[in-house]
Structure 1
Amino acid sequence: MAIGAKLKQILEDRGLKAADIAAQTGLPVQTIYSLISRDSNKASIDNLIKICGALGITVEEFNQYDLKTKNNTMLKIAVTEHENKVITAYRDNPDMQVAVDKLLDVESAPRRKIDISVYKQNIAAGTGEEGFTPKKFKEVDDFARQIAELEADESD
C-alpha cells in the first residue's frame, strides 16, 4: 500500500486535515497534499519522520498500517512528548507502577512474582562489589529484574 493512501486514511481516522499535519511539522501544506494525491511509494525520509512524529507513531508503525483491517489501534492515539516521557518513566520504574496505578485509579495488571536473587548475585559477582554505592546496587537490582522478566516472557 502506498504512502499517500496510508496517510489519507490515518488523517481521516483521526479527524485531521493535511493542514493540521503541515502546521505540526512545518512542512508546506502542498507537500502533504502532494503525498496524498500522488499516492506514490516515494517520500523524503525526513518528511516521513516529521509526519510520523506529528502523528505520534514510528515510521515502522506507519509502514505496517493496514487500510483493509485498520488493526493498528496505536495509530488512533496521539501521544505528546510529555506523555511519552511519562510512559517511559513508568516503564523504567516498575517499583513505582503500582503506586501510580493506584494514584490514577487504574487497575493494575497482575504481576508475576519473579525471584531476582540469582541474577543479582551473578551480576554483582561479575562486577565486583567493592565500592558499590546504594545507587549502584539499585542499578544492579533493576538490571537483574529486567533480565528475569525477559527470561520469564520467553518461557511463556
Structure 2
Amino acid sequence: MPHKSLALIATLAVAGCATPMDAPSSAVALPLIGSSGQAIGTVRMWETPGAVSFRVEANGLSVGRKGLHVHSVGRCVGPAFTSAGGHWNPASRKHGLANPAGPHAGDLPNVPVAANGALRETVVLNGASLATLRDGDGSALVLHAGEDDNVTDPSGNSGDRVACAVISPAA
C-alpha cells in the first residue's frame, strides 16, 4: 500500500501548486493597453457569486505598488486614458478602501510590480457582476503610476493612469 500513499502525496503536492485565484478557462481576456497605445499585457475577468475577479498580467512597468480601479466608461484613449471617466461609483461614495465614507464600487487593492517590471496579480471586486460592468457604455480597468493611499478622494493620490483595459458593453 505504500505506493498509493506516495501517489496521494504527489497528487496533493501538484494540486497545492495551483493558485485558487487562477483564471478559469471561461474567463474573458482583455488587452491591457499602455500609454504608448501598445498592448503591455492581458486582463482576464470572470464572475463568481457576488463578485468579479481580474487576473492582471503585464510587463514593462515601473517597480512598486500601483493603484488599480474600475472606471465608469469603457474607453481607453491614451496616453492619459481620461476617456475612461472617473471611478465606477454608482452609490456616490468617497474614494478608498480605508475611507469611512467609502469606498467607490470600483476601488480595488493595490497591486505589486516586481523588480523585473512584471505584474502578475488577481484581485476581486466584491459587489459587482459582469452585467453591471458591461452596462450601456461599459467600464474600464485602469492601472495607475503610483500606490493608492486608500483614503484620498477621488483617486487615492495614485497618480497618472498608465494602462487601461476596456470592459465592453454587453452585446
User: What's the TM-score bracket when you normalise by the shorter of the two chains?
Assistant: under 0.3
Q: TM-score, normalised by structure 2?
A: 0.22
More helix as a share of residues: 1
More strand as a share of residues: 2
Higher relative contact order (CA 8 A, sep 6+): 2
**Greater gyration radius:** 1
